[in-house]
Structure 1
Amino acid sequence: MKVINKPDIFSLWKQICFDDDLKSFELLFHALNARLIKFCVFYIRQKEAAEEIVSDVFVKCWESRKNLTGIVNPETYLFVAVKNQSFNYLKKYSNIHVVQIEESNEVEFINTFDPAKELERKELHFLLDQAIASLPQQACIVFRLIKEDGMKYKEVAEILNISPRTVQTQLFRAMKKLSVILAAHQVSSKSAVNSSVPSPLLGLSVFFILLKIFFIGL
């Protein structure tokens, strides 16, 4: 497995703020740009607009660098800045009101029939990706930041302005809903082969499949 060395974001930030180091700014941009765009898309659902928002955030950081010397976690600061700019974009260009609501327990099953009959693992990953996208917005963001970006509960809590306990709750709610979707998929695809598997055991087995894929890896 190829090991990719992550840049020291804090060191780059200090060189930007204290030394006006343009090279460090370029390295910071390349290190976080793609992740910030993906994060922004969670909110506004438009990649081109997300690219502009993230670009504007970086430009403002460069222009205000002398006032940002006290930032101790620049990565979290940038994620929060992008989130805030996303909210401003939604308020300006749409009638969408960003609110935190409790979603119902209903889960919409997504048809993932694959005419090419891909391998089961690829089909499962595709199903999960669609299922993650169908989660409530905050649960989806929490799940992706922790799993895909490797962030800690505390970091995600700071970005979303919620408690670490809420982050943990959202993550396990997401896991629960994803396991329901997977169980429905397994029932529909295998009922013709074996209908004797008790549903509680099926749900438990699906949960551990989910856990293995996302937190251990296949």
Structure 2
Amino acid sequence: MKIVKPDLFSLWTKICTEDDLASFEAIYHLLGARLLKFSIYYVSSKEVAEEIVSEIFVKCWENRKANLHVMNPETYLFAAIRNQSLKHLRKHNQMHLVEIEDQHDQLFVADHNPQKELERKELQLRLDQAIDTLPHQARLVFKLIKENGMKYKEVAEILEISPRTVQTQLFRAIAKLRIVLSAYRETDHKSSFHDNALSLILILSLTNYILIFCRQF
């Protein structure tokens, strides 16, 4: 069944034209957590990221009458968070980045089998470690598409790169993850873990083709 995304543009229009506080709160609840994670990729501090997200939303409310031209509020807010995070880094001379754990990102459906649950958690940890080895830009591209379901064009606008560069960085990320996870599989001797690792590798391989047809437009 196709997932219907919230109509952020309608909410944004109500904010700009009707000063609709309920629509403003709705957008915050829909995007706030994801914007916070995105800022943490840059500033490595949850507290600083919270301040940045709050500042951007305050500015959006204060300047709502001038923002009616915005056609894609999601892309607009992600780009604003990126710019503000980079501004913070330049101001404080911080150039290091960290990854954070996504508590809601599940590779496999949990069941009541403790052994399988342990294997699932181990796979998740290894995938997180593999993602952490990606170059910065490839890592951001992978996370924006994988975790936020964005299209190439949207990611390109946020990161200020071309859609072709987004595609290239994504394919490089997937290729490296396949190599890293394949290496894990070769060094493990548990047959059940082999099966799960192989399934994960196949999923990542299929992602190449899925994203080509579903994300580039």
Alignment TM-score > 0.5, same fold: yes
- Rounded Cα–Cα distance in structure 2 between residues aligned with 1:97 and 1:157: 22
Deviations 1:128-165 (A, max 9, x none): 12211221111111101111111111111111111111
> Residue deviations 1:11-60, cap 9 Å, x none?
01000001111111011111100010111111111111111101100000
In structure 2, the residue corresponding to 1:148 is in which secondary structure? helix
Which residue of structure 2 aligns with residue 154 of structure 1? 153
- 1:16 is matched with 15
Q: How many Å separate the matches in 1 of 2:18 and 2:203?
A: 49
Residues 95 and 141 (structure 1), Cα distance of their counterparts in 2 relative to 1, 3 Å cut: closer
Cα shift at 1:172: 0.7
Distance 1:19 1:90 in 2: 36
Conserved? CA contact 1:15–1:24, under 8 Å: yes
Report the equivalent of 1:57.
56
Residue in 2 that maps onto 1:210: 204
Change in 2 beyond 3 A, CA 1:95/1:35: closer
Q: Deviation above 6 Å: which 4+ runs of structure 1?
A: 213-216
Which secondary structure state, in structure 1, belongs to the residue aligned with residue 168 of structure 2? helix
- 1:47-74 CA-partner distances (Å, limit 9, x unpaired): 1111110110000000011111111111
Asked if the contact 1:175/1:207 (under 8 Å) is kept, the reply is no
**Cα displacement (A) at 1:121:** 3.3
Query: What TM-score, normalized by structure 1, do the two folds share?
Result: 0.76
The percent identity for this pair of structures is: 59
Bigger shift: residues 207-216 or 180-189: 207-216
Q: Is the contact made by 1:16 and 1:24 (CA closer than 8 Å) also made in structure 2?
A: yes
Q: Which has the larger radius of gyration?
A: 1
Q: Secondary structure at the match of 2:134?
A: coil
What is the TM-score when the length of structure 2 is the normalising length? 0.77
Counterpart in 2 of 1:39?
38
Q: How does 1:60-71 map to 2 (within 5 A)?
A: 60-71=59-70
Gaps of 5+ in 2: 98-113, 192-197, 211-217
Counting matched residue pairs gives 187
Structure 1, unmatched stretches of 5+, are 99-115, 194-203
| Higher percent of residues as helix | 2
Aligned partners of 1:183 and 1:206 also within 8 Å: no
